[in-house]
Structures are given as structure tokens and as C-alpha cells.
Structure 1
Amino acid sequence: MSTENGTGAEGVVEPVTETDRTFLRRCVELAREALDAGDEPFGSLLVDGHGTVRFEDRNRVKDGDATRHPEFEIARWAAENLSPEERRTSVVYTSGEHCPMCSAAHAWVGLGRIVYASGCGQLVAWRQGWGFDAGPVAALPVHVVAPGVPVSGPDPVLAEEVRALHARMLGVA
């Protein structure tokens, strides 16, 4: 059974907290930076088990490499720089729920919880509502691609900000 955001109940381990929201706000800032740089509005953070931001990035796909998602860059960085235990206890915060490529990378390197401001189901609905296709890859929730990864989101407080960024990108704002 799916919830309204497209994530099955087995994928949501806890609600988004105020601490989570602080990190998610930075993700939305990074998404805005990406959009201002002519890129798609996505931003992400890797926060270690002690609450320290270890890595952050934004989308960088505008030059033609569609794999330059911040969540994928986080997985690469973590694999090279963190022990398996550090990866497992880290949290990835992101403005938008991982795509299947990023969900798989996250699981393969053994990262911990994912917290997102907006869900993949929301993004698809927004795009279709504005008359655009859903995108070139199926919008599968994290728990479908990486069933062992705990997730929290979307955040009802920040999802509307993310929606506005996507509307601006598509010229429907």
C-alpha cells in the first residue's frame, strides 16, 4: 500500500524532525544555487552520525552528463572517504527523493537513512500537471530500489519551496 507521496509505509521509519528540517533547508538552498547556475534544482548533504556535514553538492547535469546528481556524488565521496560504519550511521538529506540510479548507489555503498523535502511521486505529479512528461527514468521510490534503506519524507513545510523551484525551471512560475 502506498502513502500519498508514493512511498510505501515500510519505507518511512520516522517523520521529518526539526533537526532534519534544518539540514533540508540547506538542501533547498543548494537546489536554488543549482537553478541559478542554469541547472536542475536539486541539492544534497551527507551528515555523519555526530551531526557534522561531511559533504554537500548540487545538481551539475547541464553540461550533458546526466549522472551528475548530488546524491550520486555523495555515494562516490562516501565510498572513498568513510569507513563502512561511518557510512551506515550517516544520513543523506536531499531536496528531492533519490532517483533509481542514486538509490542504488546509496545502497551499494552502505549509506544510512535518507531524508527528503519532496518525493518522486510529487515531482511526477507536478511535471504532468504543468504539461511535461515524467522524465526519462521511472520515478521509483527509494524503498522499491533499495528496500533496506530507511527513509523519511516528504517534508510538508519545504515541499512547496521545491515545487516552486521546479516551476521556475520549467517556466511555469
Structure 2
Amino acid sequence: MSDETDLKHLARCVELAAKALESGNPPFGSVLVDGTGAVKFEGHNLTADGDATQHPELAIARWAAANMTPEERVASTVYTSGEHCPMCAAAHGWVGLGRIVFASSSEQLSVWLDEMHVSPPPVATLPINTVVPGLPVEGPFPVLAEAVRKLHERYQHGASK
């Protein structure tokens, strides 16, 4: 169940998404929190240089695999401004990370992009549990999803600064 701690970490993800936007990247940000509540990794989208796999959720999965035990990974929570894409959800599942909490859903993003007359991404938008069945997932959070939508509007209209 979500609480103030979840909302605090999700708000940080939205801040990181804004930082991504300021650097010319799509607005996505993520935070890895271990079972004790300590922030272990923060990141944002870095795809502007042409590598479309530079998602923060994939970076978290790689970092966790290299720096955490399997027990630490499963006890952790990944917070993110937007629900994982299938690539990131698969990495999350393969590495054995725990719960995912997201501010906005892939379904919301698909609707927003359609409303903005933007072509859909090249990879199908799927719910995380379609890719990783049984994984604890919470989201979206309407109080933050609106802020994420506004970041995507700014990105699509070229207003990165």
C-alpha cells in the first residue's frame, strides 16, 4: 500500500524526469530504494545521444545486478515517473528486483501521445505484469501523473528548457 514515503520518492522521480527534459531527453526519472529505505540509485532518461536503451529503469537493473545481493534486490522498490516499458520490465524481472511504484502508466502515456498527435513508440506499451507476472506493482498516482503529462507535453513541443 502506498504512503507518504512512496509519494516522496515518486515526487523525486518527477524531479528527475524534469532534469531529463532540461538536458534534451524524454522526461523519465527513477529511484531505487533498498529494503531499509535508503536510496541506492537515481537516474533519468539519457536517450538524446541516440541510444534508445538508455532508460533509467534499465540502468537501475544493471546497477542492482552488480551491487546488490539477490535478497537485497527482491526487498527493494523501484520508483519511476512512468511505468516501465517492456524492455525495462523484463530487465527488472530478470534481475529479481522487488516492487515497482509508478506515477503515470503506459496506458496514460499512450493516450497523451495520441492526444498530442505523436507517433507511438516502436515497442508495444504493455502493463508491467504482462511482462513480469506476479510482480508487486502500484500506480498510477493521479496527483503526480498530471505533472508527468505536462513534462511530456513540453518535450513533444520542443520546450526542453
Query: Which residue number in structure 2 is paired with residue 64 of structure 1?
Result: 50
Q: CA deviation at 1:37?
A: 0.4
Matches within 5 A, 1:66-145: 66-145=52-131
Unpaired runs of at least 5, structure 2? none
Shift of 1:148: 2.5
Paired residues, number: 159
Q: Matched residues in 2 for 1:59 and 1:23: separation?
A: 17
Choose from 17, 22, 33 the match for 1:31: 17
Give aligned-pair identity as a percent. Answer: 60
Structure 1 pair 33–66 and aligned structure 2 pair: CA distance change class (3 A)? same
Query: How far off is 1:133 after superposition?
Result: 1.7
Alpha-carbon distance in structure 2 between the residues aligned to 1:157 and 1:172: 25
Amino acid of the structure 2 residue aligned with 1:55: F
Secondary structure at 2:49 match in 1: coil
Structure 1 gap ranges (5+):
1-13
Root mean square deviation, CA, Å? 1.1
Secondary structure at the aligned position of 1:161 is classed as helix
| Structure number with higher helix proportion | 2
Could you tell me how far 1:172 is from its partner in structure 2?
Answer: 8.3
Provide the C-alpha distance between the structure 1 equivalents of 2:31 and 2:39, rounded to a whole number of angstroms: 7
Q: Check conservation: 1:130, 1:172, Cα contact below 8 A.
A: no
Instruction: Give the secondary structure class of the aligned counterpart of 2:142.
Output: coil
Regions of 4+ moved over 6 Å = none
Q: TM-score, normalised by structure 1?
A: 0.90
Residues in 2 aligned to 1:129 and 1:33: alpha-carbon distance in whole angstroms: 24
1:38-53 to 2 correspondences below 5 Å? 38-53=24-39
**One-letter amino acid matched to 2:116:** W
**Partner-residue secondary structure (3-state), 2:40:** strand
